[in-house]
Structure 1
Amino acid sequence: MFSFCTDPASLEGFQWMSCYLTTGKHMNIYWSVGTVLLLLAITAPLALAFGFGGAAAARSQALPLRWFGKGYIAIVRGVPDIAFFLFFVIALDQAFEYIRHKIICPDWDAPIRQGNDFVVCAAAKLPLGSAPQWIHEVYGFALAVLTFAIVFGAFAANVLFGAMRAVPKGQLETAEAFGMSRRQTFWRVLVPQMWVYALPGLSNLWMVLIKSTPLLFLLGVEDIVYWARELGGTKTPQFTDYPHGDWRMWYFLALLIFYLAFTKVSEVVLDRIMARLTLGQATAAGERQRKAAAA
């Protein structure tokens, strides 16, 4: 990147470090920060949507729908995250390929399950073997996003279900007394009121989601943990123009600072949102605001 980087062997100190941190390999770790942020930006609203759907189903009057909602919450929350991530991604990938196989290759007569192997026709593979590398990376990232959303959606569903139950029944009964239907009461009274009760739990869930992004490494996505390990390992002159010892401690220290800074910023933003939601509310937080304003 810099003009003085043409001969790394002649560099020392700041110049050596400047050239080292701007190599093509190091650009990957900078891009991987964007990968983590993109994951959070997509997963958070998607998980919230899964959570809202699960919570609404769990309180439904239709018994099968209520069983589905409560089953989704109980099953996903009851399985360790790492086990779910390692199993579900494989199962989801095979499910997609199985459906494509049945549609694209209806004349296939060989068994799909052949011992430990899962064999479908070449046209049903996801992605196709002839697809460019970026297609493979986008597909893997999409599977990771969907898995994260389903897992954290179950936790969000539990939080939202509790928040819905925390809304005073008197408000719902009053709405019904004014002639609102059950649907109108749900959307006009229950949903707007529940957020003040849900935000503390959702705030914690957001923090957990941030700390769980290194699980991308287990899903085959080259995230910042992957590149920190790769770049921080010992590099000899035979393999690089910038040899160094085992620097993984420093790379992981940088990750520690990154995550601490990110969670701190999140805390500040969430506190402001909470203050806005509780303003004038008959809650402990609202009461504190009234006392502070009167003092």
Structure 2
Amino acid sequence: MFSFCADPKAIEGVQWLACYLSSGKHINFYWSFVTVLTLVAITAPTAMAFGFGGATAARSQFLPARIFGKTYVAMVRGVPDIVFFLFFVIALDQGIEYLKSLAVCEAGLWPWQGLEFRVCPEAKVPLARSSAIWHDAYAFLLAVITFSIVFGAFAANVLYGAMEAVPRAQLETAEAYGMSPRQVFRRILVPQMWVYALPGLSNLWMILIKATPLLFLLGIEDIVYYARELGGLKTNAYEYPHPDWRLWYFMALLVFYLLMTKVSEGVLGRISARLSKGQATAAGEAMRKAAI
């Protein structure tokens, strides 16, 4: 990046540090922070959509939908996250390639040959000749889907409990005024449930932030991967030799995650105060007394 970085072994001090921190791998390290933030920004609303659908299905009067909703919540919540991440991504990837193989491969042969999964080269997703950006985008998409399904199940359990916590008297009053079940659900139940759901959803948001290092298990070069790689001992065989600096890199990650959680607490606190205003809850009662 700097003109004096042409020969790193001929410089020292501040110049050496400037060249070291602006090297290609460090630029990738900085971009990995954007990857983590993008994952969280996309996964959170997607997981909420999964959760809302699962909670709604679990309360449905239609038996198959209710069974599906409760099975989804129980199955995903009952499997350790790390096992689900390792298994589901492989299964989803192979499922996509198998469906594609039925359309592009000759004879549509069953891809399993003993313990090996093989499809024709045209069925690979993405294709082997595709550029690296498409491979990275595909891996990121699988990560978003996996994170969304896992955290969607937990969100579904939180939202289901929040729906059950809405006083039944409010729903019965709406029905007495002639509202249809759909109107009661849309106008009374859903607006009222958020104040009960927010504490649980806040915890899920914090857990999602802390779970982002699992990206490394999915083959994505995230901030933990680069912190370990850049901070490890580098001998004179490397362009910028240095001792083991992993402590400092992981301290930087500590600060990053603490800042994310601190900002999240402030935003969630404001949302909670807004939702609790005028509600018949402990927080709403405290706000009413404070205003007197």
Hey, what does 1:60 align to over in structure 2? Answer: 60
Of all paired residues, the percent bearing the same amino acid is 69
Q: Compute the displacement of 1:4 (Å).
A: 3.1
Aligned twin of 2:127: 128
2:80 alignment counterpart = 80
SS of aligned partner of 2:107 = coil
Give, in angstroms, the shift of residue 106 of structure 1: 5.2
Q: Per-residue deviation at 1:74?
A: 0.5
2:262: which partner in 1?
A: 264
Q: Distance in 1 between matches of 2:245 and 2:257?
A: 19
Partner of 1:112: 111
Query: Taking structure 1 as the reference length, what is the TM-score of the superposition?
Result: 0.96
What residue in structure 2 maps to residue 217 of structure 1? 216
Hey, what's the Cα distance between the residues in 1 that align with 2:281 and 2:11? 62
Q: Deviations over 1:258-291 (max 9, x none)?
A: 1011101100110011001111111100111122
Specify every segment of 5 or more residues in structure 1 that has no aligned partner in the other structure, as ranges: none
Which range is displaced more, 225-234 or 7-16? Answer: 7-16
Q: What are the within-5 Å matches in structure 2 for residues 1-295 of structure 1?
A: 1-105=1-105, 107-109=107-109, 111-240=110-239, 242-294=240-292
Gap runs ≥5 in structure 2: none
CA apart distance, 1:200:
0.5
Which deviations, in whole Å up to 9, do the C-alpha atoms of 1:92-151 show, x marking residues without a partner? 001111111112225244x41111111112211111111111100000000000000000
Shift in Å, 1:17: 1.4
> Structure 2 vs 1, CA of residues 178 and 107 (structure 1 numbering), >3 Å: closer, same or farther?
same
Scaled by the length of structure 2, the TM-score of the pair is: 0.97
Q: Equivalents in 2 of 1:43, 1:260: separation in Å?
A: 20
Which segment is superposed worse, 54-63 or 279-288?
A: 279-288
- The code of the aligned residue for 2:238 comes to F
Deviation (angstroms), 1:250: 1.1
SS of the residue corresponding to residue 107 of structure 1 reads helix
Residues matched between the structures, number? 292
* SS at structure 2 position matched to 1:61: coil
Amino acid at match of 1:276: R
Instruction: After superposition, give the CA deviation of every residue in 1:175-231 in whole Å (9 maximum; x if it has no partner).
Output: 111111111110111001100000010000000000000000000001001111111
The CA distance in 2 between the partners of 1:271 and 1:163, in whole Å, is: 18
- 1:15, 1:290 → 2: CA distance? 59
1:249 and 1:115 map into 2 onto residues whose CA distance is 45
CA pair 160-275 structure 1, distance change in 2 beyond 3 A: same
| SS, match of residue 38 in structure 1 | helix
Instruction: Give the alignment's Cα RMSD to 1 decimal.
Output: 1.1
